Structure 1
């Protein structure tokens, strides 16, 4: 609930300051829809669910495949975010100090990215435990909790995508 409240504050701030920058660039001038990254991140909810379902059936091999796929898809999302930020900073001149849009954009998308990184670290630890034979069917509930965190991160991205890239443009 606390994480959801933090994101709500950032969503409201982003919407409140939308269009109030005194200088450019504006979202319409520099933002493109991050389709590839979005598909990767949303697909990772399927693969983490697959991993949990496999572990519930004591299928450790498929659990490892599901976790590896989730980590790969999450990493691809982060690479696409890094590429977007590189383009915005070096090609478009948009930094956190440029204007209100830059400040709220990097704060909101950066907050989400930090949650993705935390999730990737935890998923990688679960993957290592699975590959080393320490993940067993009795750990299903723990992996389920981790998958709920990952689903939360994905659901937050849907809202970020809608607010920043659809409504905000």
Structure 2
């Protein structure tokens, strides 16, 4: 029989990485759920969260998942121009999401809602900030991958890395849907 193809081994290894990342986020979600009412007399999510702004953030990230999927189809068809267009759209939407998230953090901090203020804010900044760090890493990775496409073309190693990037980006979107639901929807109602 022989060893499995490199694409299968790389994909399997990357799924293990994604699952470990999901376990990490699950632990942070659990901490947030326990600490969501531990405001120490400080502001609550209802007082802090700007729902229309969060809706725009969410839209940016979800549409970026679509453009990432279109980029993956372009890579599969080895269409360089379409790959760059959809990668650029994914990058711009991801950067817009990150900009809006940083603006939200800056506004909260300016109003005195800093992580040290309460356990709720500490858990909030940890959860949402961890996701933001992952989005930042994804944007850097996407930039590096587009440079690799420019230099190396659609070699199998580049296609494998782009497949892993797409899995990572879609996983971030799934985590955001959970985060959006737990923090920004359920969190403001309780």
The 5 Å alignment of 1:60-139 reads 60-90=80-110, 92-130=111-149, 132-136=150-154, 138=156, 139=158
Kindly indicate whether residue 171 of structure 2 is the aligned counterpart of residue 155 of structure 1.
no
Aligned to 1:44: 64
Q: Which structure's residues are more often helix, by fraction?
A: 2
Shift in Å at residue 37 of structure 1?
1.1
8 A contact 2:115–2:121 mirrored in 1:
yes
Shift in Å at residue 134 of structure 1?
2.2
Structure 2 unmatched ranges of 5 or more:
1-18
* 3-state SS of 2:117 partner: coil
8 A contact 2:145–2:161 mirrored in 1:
no
1:2-44 CA distances to partner (integer Å, 9 max, x unpaired)? Answer: 1111100011111111112222111111112201111011111
CA RMSD between the two structures = 1.2
Distance 1:71 1:113 in 2: 14
Aligned to 2:3: none
Structure number with greater Rg is 2
Distance 1:126 1:164 in 2: 32
Distance 1:127 1:142 in 2: 11
Kindly indicate whether residue 161 of structure 2 is the aligned counterpart of residue 142 of structure 1.
yes
Q: How many equivalent pairs are there?
A: 167
Structure 1 unmatched ranges of 5 or more:
none
Structure 1 stretches of 4+ moved >3 Å: none
Distance 2:171 2:103 in 1: 24
Shift in Å at residue 133 of structure 1?
4.3
TM-score by length of 1: 0.94
* 3-state SS of 2:100 partner: helix
TM-score by length of 2: 0.84
Aligned with 1:5 (options 1, 18, 23): 23
Distance 1:135 1:147 in 2: 17
* 3-state SS of 2:152 partner: coil
